[in-house]
C-alpha cells in the first residue's frame, strides 16, 4: 500500500489493486494545497471543516462517517478492483471534557492486506482501557501531535505506548500559516524530540508492506 500525506490530518491511501481512500480532507481555509485526486472512499473523523471537505475529492466516493453514539462498522465494496474494505469507527472526543468543548471524534481503523491502520482524527484525550482493548495493536498509526485542540506532544507519546504501533505518521501540528487558527500550538519538533526512532522521507509518499514493518516503533515524516 502507498500512503501519501496531503497535509494537516489528511492522507491518501492506495492498494496494489488500485483502490483509493482519502481520510479527513480539509477545506480551502487550511493553508495547504489539496491536490486534484479521485478516490473510492472518503473517511471523515468529525464535522469540522479542516476534516470534512468531501467536496474536494473527485469522483463519486462512498463517504464513511459515524452517525451513532456507539461503535460502528461500514463495509464498502470496490467494484472496479474487486476489494471490500471494512471500516470500524470508535466513538471518542475532540477534547478531554467528554466532548463538551469541541464535540465528538471518531477513531477509524481498518485492515488492508493484513495491515491494521488506525487514524485518530482529532482525538483530544488518552484512550481508555476499554478503547485500547477495542482497537487492539496498531500497525500503522496516524497520530495528532500539535496540542491545543487535540493531543499534545507528551500525550501523543503516551498514546503510542497504549497502541504499540510499528509505524507512526504524525499529523495536525503547527506549521507556518496555521498560527492564526485555533487548531494547534506545538510544532512537529516538540513531538519528535521525545521519540527515539525517526525517519525523514523527504517526500510525500511511503510504501507500507506487512512483511517489512519495523519491529520497533518508528516515526515516519512525510512532506505535504
Q: How many Å apart are CA 171 and CA 30, to the nearest integer?
A: 14
Enclosing domain of residue 170: 67-221
Q: Is residue 205 part of a domain?
A: yes
Q: How many Å apart are CA 94 and CA 105, to the nearest integer?
A: 5
Sheet holding 167-171, edge to edge: 72-78, 83-93, 104-112, 115-119, 140-144, 167-171, 218-221, 198-200
- Single pTM value for the model: 0.96
Q: Is residue 49 part of a domain?
A: no
Q: Is residue 93 part of a domain?
A: yes
Sheet holding 10-14, edge to edge: 62-64, 41-43, 20-23, 10-14, 2-7, 205-207
Q: How many Å apart are CA 208 and CA 203, to the nearest integer?
A: 14
Beta bridge mates, 221: 200
Q: Which three cell numbers stand for residue 92?
A: 471518542
Q: Is residue 189 part of a domain?
A: yes
**DSSP single-letter state for residue 127:** P
pLDDT at 179: 73
Beta bridge mates, 187: 174
- Digitized pLDDT (tens) for each residue of the chain, 224 residues in all: 999 999 999 999 999 999 999 999 999 888 889 999 999 999 999 999 999 999 999 999 999 999 889 999 999 999 999 999 999 999 999 999 999 999 999 999 999 999 999 999 999 999 999 999 999 999 999 999 999 889 999 999 999 999 999 999 999 999 887 776 778 889 999 999 999 999 999 999 999 999 999 999 999 999 98
Q: Are strands 104-112 and 115-119 parallel, antiparallel or unpaired?
A: antiparallel
CATH of residue 79's domain is: 3.60.15.10
Q: How many Å apart are CA 136 and CA 223, to the nearest integer?
A: 28
* Total tally of structural domains belonging to the chain: 1
pLDDT at 185: 87
Q: Which three cell numbers stand for residue 194?
A: 521525545
pLDDT at 177: 76
Cβ 73 vs Cβ 88: under 8 Å: yes
Q: Is residue 29 part of a domain?
A: no
Q: Is residue 109 part of a domain?
A: yes
Q: Is residue 35 part of a domain?
A: no
Amino acid at each position: 500500500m502507498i500512503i501519501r500525506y496531503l497535509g494537516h490530518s489528511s492522507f491518501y491511501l492506495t492498494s496494489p489493486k488500485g483502490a483509493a481512500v482519502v481520510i479527513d480532507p480539509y477545506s480551502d481555509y487550511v493553508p495547504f494545497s489539496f491536490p486534484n485526486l479521485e478516490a473510492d472512499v472518503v473517511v471523515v473523523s468529525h464535522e469540522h471543516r479542516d476534516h470534512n471537505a468531501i467536496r474536494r475529492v473527485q469522483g463519486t466516493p462512498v463517504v464513511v462517517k459515524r452517525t451513532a453514539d456507539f461503535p460502528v462498522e461500514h463495509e464498502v465494496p470496490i467494484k472496479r478492483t474487486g476489494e471490500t474494505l471494512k471500516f470500524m469507527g470508535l466513538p471518542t472526543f475532540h477534547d478531554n471534557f467528554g466532548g463538551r468543548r469541541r464535540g465528538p471524534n471518531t477513531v477509524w481503523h481498518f485492515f488492508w492486506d493484513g495491515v491494521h491502520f488506525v487514524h485518530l482524527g482529532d482525538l483530544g484525550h488518552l484512550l481508555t482501557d476499554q478503547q485500547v482493548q477495542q482497537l487492539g495493536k496498531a500497525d500503522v498509526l496516524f497520530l495528532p501531535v500539535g496540542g491545543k485542540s487535540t493531543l499534545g506532544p507528551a500525550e501523543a507519546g503516551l498514546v503510542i505506548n497504549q497502541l504499540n504501533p510499528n509505524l507512526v505518521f504524525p499529523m495536525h501540528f503547527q506549521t507556518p500559516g496555521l498560527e492564526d487558527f485555533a487548531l494547534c500550538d506545538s510544532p512537529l519538533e516538540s513531538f519528535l524530540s521525545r521519540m527515539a526512532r525517526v525517519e525523514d522521507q523527504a517526500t510525500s509518499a511511503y510504501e507500507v508492506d506487512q512483511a517489512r514493518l519495523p519491529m520497533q516503533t518508528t516515526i515516519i515524516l512525510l512532506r505535504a
